[in-house]
Structures are given as structure tokens and as C-alpha cells.
Amino acid sequence: MKSNHPWWKPDGLLIYAILYLVFIYLPVLFLPLFSFNNSTYITFPLKDFTLKWYAKMINSPGLLEALFNSIKVGLLVAIFSTILGLLAAKSVTRYRFKGRGPLVSFIMIPLVIPEIILAISLLILISQANIPLSLWTIGFSHLLLCIPFSMLILISRMEGFDKSLEEAALDLGENPWMTFWRVTFPIVLPGIVASLLLTFTISFDEFVLAFFLSSTDATLPIYIWSSLRFPTKIPAILALGASIFVISFFVVTFAEWVRRRGVKLESTSGI
Amino acid sequence: MSRDAIISFQDVSKSFGKVKAVDGVNFEINRGEFFSLLGPSGCGKTTLLRMVAGFEMPDSGEVFIDGQPMSAIPPNQRPVNMVFQNYAIFPHMDVRGNISFGMRKSGLSKVELNRRIDEILELIKLQGFGKRGADELSGGQRQRVALARALIKQPKVLLLDEPLGALDKKLREQMQIELRLLQQQLGITFLFVTHDQEEALTLSDRIAVMSEGHVKEIASPAQLYENPGSRFVADFIGSMNFFKGEVVDSNKKHLRITSDTIGDIVVPESDTKYNVKYPVWIAIRPEKLQPVFSEPDDLSHVMEGQMGPSAYLGDRSHFYVHLAKREEPVLVALQNLDRSNDLLRKPNQRVWLKWSIEAVVVLPRD
């Protein structure tokens, strides 16, 4: 798009867009800024440049443990919620059955229930059933929360592609399983990537459910929350935040690359 | 089942909810035939085709392909292949990928498979397009790829579900000719579904005209057009003027019919036997009426009327003639043999329509 507006005379929309981006990213940029600042207190003016908070981050076992707990839970939740979401999306978009509409709304309900209500009810249920609280209970609750998101993403992707593509694969001699792998999966792949990313992110920074359903194993949000009482721990958390920010940037870029590659051609040479 | 039959429908019925899509259908398609299923939308033609492909199962009855009952055989194991209405080209594969999709289990060596692909690309005139992606193809090219992808499997029957519907008129006419040539060249049975009667007439050896889940008539294009068996078929294929009549006398050779609008006529007795007093339709095609603008000497087999609205269609003109004794105007089609079309510019002019007894079709009226 070409604008004949000179850049030194910006219009209102451009100013709005710049303000918007500043509003989103300025606070986030404070994280790396202060993580290199040689002071325990997060306040201007800045002091010397230092990497000691990063060293401290690597040498604090509690923080790393919480980080790995979150990654473990997040990966499992992302994978299972995407698999279950994919199966549900396939059945909802490909088959007509009684009670299809109500069923979908029912699965979507966790989207609108306040998390704190969900957390309390799950806690009551789990303690009544005498199931010990652990990372597993957190993961289970996150799965509950994430499946609707996976379904929403994958239903829209499945509805967007033509049913006759799958019929054509069957017609050309492939069984339903190979039809899924050779046609459905590659076409739905961008949706799968999106679902994995979104559900991992939701689980990774989820606080309320994890807070209610955790025992001694903390996830990262819980660790950060409990660290806020100790000001000396905060700069290491800033270092961690900055690292996560950089890593997510690369992950999203990679995912986008996969997505674009997914829609490109499959060559014949593989056959 | 005759030995020539490649597909046989035996008492096939299928309902969707309360709608009977296909209702007790019985017929056979011969080996090597170009067979069309023709009918208005919702007549059951696509359901019938999808039953051959295996995407729909009959509620009752059986579909046979080459003598084998198909009800227990899933789509991926049937010896037929389909060209889909929207072509269903795999968007994540190039042309060669699409064409070789069904050859994974063919057991051919890579060299042999590539040779086959080259061969079929040449057949459909897409040499050099092998590496094109699905989104880099025009409508006509996509259609050719869909055709090639099915033909490389060497099916016993090729199923085509309105494959030309999405193409513009010029391209459609060109593809019709190519399809017909391809079918004759390969000798494969084609089962073609269309709602376009002109297309069915152009392409087919035989046509099954369908309506509301029933097969109304199966015949060759010329037979269907010149000698239709029912008012529905006569009306659906081309245009037709119908006049009410009643049989007044019938002997072994001739049928005398009286009609308010066109007087008494005598026609040769047809296959259908009519009793006296039997109500009939006298049907005449618009192009078989010849307009003259001065009163003819011989007034038998002539209708007199007044020019009504007209339409200029380039190669021919259509116009309506109002008869004195008939509410509905008569449609007349006239070839524009020279470049003047003056006659169309004179509304309300008196006109006499001449017709010959050979042009008349007599159909039962009930």
C-alpha cells in the first residue's frame, strides 16, 4: 500500500498506531533494560551494565525448577489439547449427529467460566476424590482450559477446507488413515501449529488454576508471585523475563516459517 | 444382468431424512459407453453417481460394477475414479504430485511412474506444467489435472460430477469436444452427471433423464429430442409447444386426433396404443414451425395468429405467436439465414405457422 502522505506530516491514524505499539511494547522493553542494570532496585537513573542477574538466574535452583515445571506442563497440555481438539474438530465438521450444536457449546463453556470458579470447583472435586495435588492436577486443569481454544482454532481450519479433498484421496485409493496423513494433516498443519503455540502459552502463564491446584512443585507464575516478597530476587526474574521474551520471538518466527512452508508444495520426488 | 453391462443399478433407493433422493432405480450402463445422468438439481443424479463411487450407500438395492456387488466395498477399493465438481485439486501438491497421488501402491518403478505421468500430461496437453502449484492453474487446467489424476489409475468407469459447470462458455464447449475425443480414444466408460441438457446431448451415447429420484427415460440424444416418451422429457430437453388433444379414432396404422387449437390431424400410430377418447398432448418443437406472412393457399396444418414479443439470439430468433383460441402463446424459433430481421420488428402482424405431420409428437396426457 502506498500513501502519498509525507512522513513528516503524519495523519491521526498513524499517530494512533504508534501510540498503540509504544503502549504495548514500552513496558515489556523495561525488562531487558533493568535486567542489565547493576542495582537491586528497579528505578531510574540506570547504573552500570552487568550480567550478574543472568548468572544469578542460572544459579537459582528454585527458579529453574519452576521454569522446567512450566515447560513440562505446557508441552504436555499443548500436545494433548491439540490432539483432542483435532479429533473433536474433525467429528464436529465432518459428521452430522444429533446434539452436535449443544455438545460444541458445552465443550466451549470453560471459555466463559471465571477461572477462579473453575479452580475452586476442581480443588473441591480433587480433594474429595483424595487425589494428591501435583503437576498432574495442574496439567489436567490446564487441559480443560485449553481444549476449547484448540477446538476453536481447528474447527475454523477444518471448515475452511473442502470435504471433497478427502473424498478425492479415498477415491484415488488411499484408506482413511493415509488420507488423514497425506491430505487432512498437511492442510490443517497451520491450525495445529497455532493451537500448539496458543495452548502452550496459556498453560505457561496461567496463574489462578496453578495456584489452587499445586502442592510443593511450583510453576513459573507461582514462583514469580512468591518471589515478589523478596526484592533481591526480582532482578533475576527480570533476566528470566527478558530471556523468555527473546526465546518466544524466535519460537513465533519459527512457527510462522513452518506455517508458510506448510502451504507450499509437496513435490513428487518423495513417491 | 447383460454381459455388456459395466454398471448395473438394481432397485436402488436412498433417502436423506424424509426426502427420497433416489427411488427404486433400475438400469444398466454398457461397457465403453458415454452415459449421462441428466436432470434438474435435486433429482438424485449426483446421489446415484456418489453411490457408484462409494460415498453414499443405498438404503436398499445394490450397485454392481463389472458384475461385482459393491455394498461391502469402500470407495478406496472400487475400480472407478471420479472428477469432482470443484476438481478437488490437492492445494499442497504440484501438478505431478496431484497426478501421482493415487499411484503410491501401484508398484511401478520411479522411472516407469514418471514416464506414465509424462504420457498423461501430454494426453491432457499440460506438458511443462508438472511443477506448477494448484494455485497457479486456471479453471480449465485444474479440470485437466483432475481428469489426469483419475485416468492414470485406469479406472473401469470414470465418474464426472458436473465437471464443466465452473468454466466459461467458450472453454466449456472446447472441453466438451476434448472429453468426447478422450473417451473415444481411451475406450473407458464415462458416467457423466449434468443439469445442462445441451451438454448431455453433445457428449452422450445415451442419456438417463431423471426427476425426483426416478429415471424418466433412457435413450440416445436424438431419440430423446425427436421422439420423447413423456411430457416431462419433451419439456426438459429443448423447448416444446404442447397442444391439448383427444383421440377420436384409432386403427392399426393411423391415429386421428382432434384439437381445439390446431384442428383435426391424422398421425401414424406409434408404439403406445391409444384408445378412443384418450387425452393426449400434441407436441411440436419451436424450430419445426415455419412462419409465413401472407395467407397460404392450403390451410391444413397451419395455425393463424398474431406476432407477440420476440428475442434476437444471433444465430436464431425466438418469437411468440398469440393464437385466437389459446391463452398461452406459441414459441417459434427461426434460423437467421440472412442478415435482415425485419419480421421481428412488426408486432401484432398477422402470421401463419406451417408445420408438417412428421414434426408432431403425440404424448399421453394425464
CB nearest to B84's CB, from A168, A174, A264:
A168
Strands across the sheet containing B290-292: B290-292, B350-354, B302-312, B316-323, B330-335
Alpha carbons A234 and A240: distance in angstroms, whole number: 10
pLDDT tens track for B304-331: 888 888 888 888 888 899 988 777 889 9
Please tell me the total count of domains within chain B.
2
Task: Provide the pLDDT for residue A271.
Answer: 36
Clarify whether residues B165 and B67 are in a common domain: yes
Identify the bridge partners of residue A266 per DSSP, sorted by sequence position: B93
**How distant, in Å, are the alpha carbons of B71, B114, B158 from that of B68?**
9, 32, 17
Task: Provide the pLDDT for residue B77.
Answer: 93
Task: Provide the pLDDT for residue B203.
Answer: 92
Interface membership of B53 toward A (CB under 8 Å): yes
**How distant, in Å, are the alpha carbons of A47, B61, B92, B103, B147 from that of B65?**
85, 14, 32, 21, 20
A114: which 3 cell numbers?
A: 471465571
Size of interface A-B (CB pairs under 8 A): 91
B278 versus A78: the higher-pLDDT residue is A78
Alpha carbons B99 and B123: distance in angstroms, whole number: 13
Interface membership of B312 toward A (CB under 8 Å): no
Task: Provide the pLDDT for residue B345.
Answer: 61
Q: Is the pLDDT of residue B25 over 90?
A: yes
Across the interface, do B76 and A265 touch by the CB < 8 Å criterion?
no
CB nearest to A165's CB, from B77, B88, B94:
B88
Clarify whether residues B60 and B207 are in a common domain: yes
Element housing B257 (H / E) = strand B254-258
Task: Provide the pLDDT for residue B183.
Answer: 92
Rounded to a whole number, what is the distance in Å from the CA of A269 to chain B's nearest CA?
8
Which of A 249-268 lie inside 8 A of B, CB atoms? 262-268
* Residue (of B332, B237, B355) closest to B286 by Cα position: B332
Task: Provide the pLDDT for residue B215.
Answer: 94
B147: which 3 cell numbers?
A: 481428469
The CATH number of domain A67-263 is 1.10.3720.10: yes
Clarify whether residues B16 and B165 are in a common domain: yes
The percent of residues in chain B predicted with pLDDT above 70, rounded, is 97
Task: Provide the pLDDT for residue A268.
Answer: 39
Q: What letter represents residue A130's amino acid?
A: N
B37: which 3 cell numbers?
A: 445422468
Q: Is the pLDDT of residue B161 over 90?
A: yes
Q: Is the pLDDT of residue B35 over 60?
A: yes
Q: Is the pLDDT of residue B290 over 50?
A: yes
What is the widest separation between alpha-carbon atoms in chain A?
A: 71
Torsion of CA B183, B189, B190, B191, to 10 degrees: 170
Residue B37 is part of a domain; what is its CATH number? 3.40.50.300
Which ipTM did the prediction report? 0.83
Q: Is the pLDDT of residue B3 over 80?
A: no
B95 versus A237: the higher-pLDDT residue is B95
Across the interface, do A263 and B86 touch by the CB < 8 Å criterion?
no
Which of A 141-170 lie inside 8 A of B, CB atoms? 162, 164-165, 167-170
Task: Provide the pLDDT for residue A261.
Answer: 64
Clarify whether residues B226 and B258 are in a common domain: no
Alpha carbons B293 and B352: distance in angstroms, whole number: 6
Clarify whether residues B79 and B38 are in a common domain: yes
pLDDT tens track for B45-79: 999 999 999 999 999 999 999 999 999 999 999 99
CB B29 within 8 A of CB B189: yes
Clarify whether residues B332 and B274 are in a common domain: yes
When pLDDT is averaged across residues B102-111 and rounded to a whole number, the result is 88
Task: Provide the pLDDT for residue A55.
Answer: 79
Q: What letter represents residue B241's amino acid?
A: N
Clarify whether residues B151 and B277 are in a common domain: no
**What string of pLDDT tens digits covers the 271 residues of chain A?**
455 666 667 688 888 999 999 998 888 888 777 777 777 777 677 777 777 778 777 777 888 888 888 999 999 999 999 999 999 898 888 777 788 888 888 888 888 888 889 889 888 988 888 888 788 888 898 998 899 999 988 988 888 778 899 999 999 999 999 999 999 888 888 889 889 988 998 898 888 888 888 877 888 888 888 887 887 777 888 888 888 888 888 887 887 777 666 554 444 333 3
Domain boundary among B209, B234, B259: B234
* Burial classification of residue B290, based on how many CB atoms lie within 10 Å of its CB (0-12 exposed, 13-18 middle, 19 or more buried): middle
The residues, ordered by sequence, that sit 6+ positions from B37 with a Cβ below 8 Å of its Cβ are B45, B48, B49, B191, B192, B193, B194, B207, B208, B210
Query: Residue B349 CB: number of other CB atoms within 10 A?
Result: 13
Alpha carbons A56 and B212: distance in angstroms, whole number: 79
Q: Which domain holds residue B329?
A: 239-364
Clarify whether residues B209 and B262 are in a common domain: no
Alpha carbons B101 and A168: distance in angstroms, whole number: 10
CB nearest to A268's CB, from B74, B97, B102:
B97
Identify the bridge partners of residue B292 per DSSP, sorted by sequence position: B352
A227: which 3 cell numbers?
A: 518471589
pLDDT tens track for B191-221: 999 999 989 999 999 999 999 999 999 999 9
Query: Residue A190 CB: number of other CB atoms within 10 A?
Result: 19
Which of A 167-186 lie inside 8 A of B, CB atoms? 167-175, 178, 182-183, 186
Q: What's this model's pTM, rounded to 2 decimal places?
A: 0.80
Rounded to a whole number, what is the distance in Å from the CA of A14 to chain B's nearest CA?
35
* Residue (of A152, A154, A153, A118) closest to A138 by Cα position: A118
B32: which 3 cell numbers?
A: 465403453
